Amino acid sequence: MILQRRDLARRSPPAAWEAYFLIGVFPAESSLRWLKVQLYSGATRHSLASVEGMNRAPQRLIVAASKDQVFRDEQPLPFTASPDDFEIESGDLDWRGFPSSRLRCDSPALVATVEARDPFSWVSIPRVLSYWTSFGTGTFETQWGSAEGAALVEHAWGADARIDVARAVPRRWQWDVLRFADGATCAGLSVYGLPALRSGGRAPGARFSAGRGLRVSVVERDADGFPARWRGRLHLRSGTISYDARASTPVAREMHGGGFVGFEFEGSHRERAVSGTGFTEFRAR
C-alpha cells in the first residue's frame, strides 16, 4: 500500500501508545554501520510494541554501531507529537518535516537530514495497530562518527492489552533491511512458523514495490544463540532477492532474546549479482 500524506498522522481517538523511529544503514567503509532513534510514548497497560522490547515506560533511545562497538543513550523521556503534521519533540531532541526531515539532538550530539519519499504500510487495522515506513536516504552526524546512506522514517501506533503481548507472539522473528551498493533499499519480515508476511522497497534498477515477505534460514549462530550467518529470500513484485548474510557489528541487546545487528550480504536479483549492507531486528529465543 502506497500512502498519502493524510495517512501519516495518528488517528482519533488517540492511540493507547505511539512510537516514531529513524533508522540509518550505511556502507561498510563508514565509521558507523547503522543507527536507530526510537521514541516511545509508553502505555498504561501492555503495549503491542512489547514485541520489540517497549512496554509501559516512555523511552527515548539512540543506539548506533561501528564494526567493533555499540554506542547507546537511553532516557525515560516522553515525547510530544502533532496529530496533524510531522513535528516531534523529546527533551532536547527535535524532529520536523516529512518527507524532507531534519532531526537534531544536543545530548548525545546528533543531526540527521533525511529525504524519505517512498512510504509503505506494513499493517493498518483501525483501533488495533498501524505501522508504516518511508524509505529514502540521509546524512547522519553524531558524536560517534558521521555517515551517509539509507534512511527509514517510521511511525507506529495502536491499542494496549490486558495480557503481555510479547508472551503470546512467536518467539523467533527477524526483520531485515537491505541497502544495496547502488543505494536501493528494501525490507521484509520473517516470523518462524508462519508464511511469509510483508515486504517492500526497491531492488537495484527497479521501481518501488510491495511483496510477499521474507523467509530467513539461520546457518550459524554465535555463542549467545544469535544469528551470525543466514540466508534470506525477500520477495518484491520486481523479483525475488536471494542473499547470504553475515553479522558485521556487535549485537545491541534491546529486547529479551534478541536485539539489533548490522550485516553484509551478497546475493542475486533477476539473475544479477547484488551486494550491500543491512540492519536487522530479531528475536532468536
Q: Which three cell numbers stand for residue 266?
A: 551478497
Cβ distance 65 to 76 under 8 Å?
no
Determine the pLDDT at residue 164.
Answer: 67
Rounded distance, CA 92 to CA 136, Å?
Answer: 25
Q: How far apart are the C-alpha atoms of 271 and 160, rounded to whole Å?
A: 45
Domain limits, the chain: 5-161, 170-283
**Looking at residue 45, what is its pLDDT?**
74
CA dist 243 and 236 (Å) reads 14
pLDDT tens, position by position, 133-185: 999 999 999 999 999 999 999 999 888 777 666 666 667 999 999 999 999 99
- pTM assigned to the model: 0.93
β-pair partners for 277? 179, 264
Give the pLDDT score at 1: 45
Low-confidence ranges of the chain (pLDDT < 70): 1-14, 46-51, 53-54, 163-170
What does the chain come to in residues? 285
Q: Residue 246: enclosing H or E segment and its boundaries?
A: strand 239-247
Sign of the dihedral defined by the CA atoms of residues 12, 92, 175, 45, in that order: negative
CATH of domain 170-283: 2.40.370.10
Only one residue has cell 531492488, namely 203
Q: Pick 5-161's CATH classification: 2.40.370.10, 3.40.50.150, 3.40.50.720, 1.10.246.90.
A: 2.40.370.10
- What gap in Å lies between CA 155 and CA 131, rounded to an integer? 6
Are 5-161 and 170-283 equal in CATH topology? yes
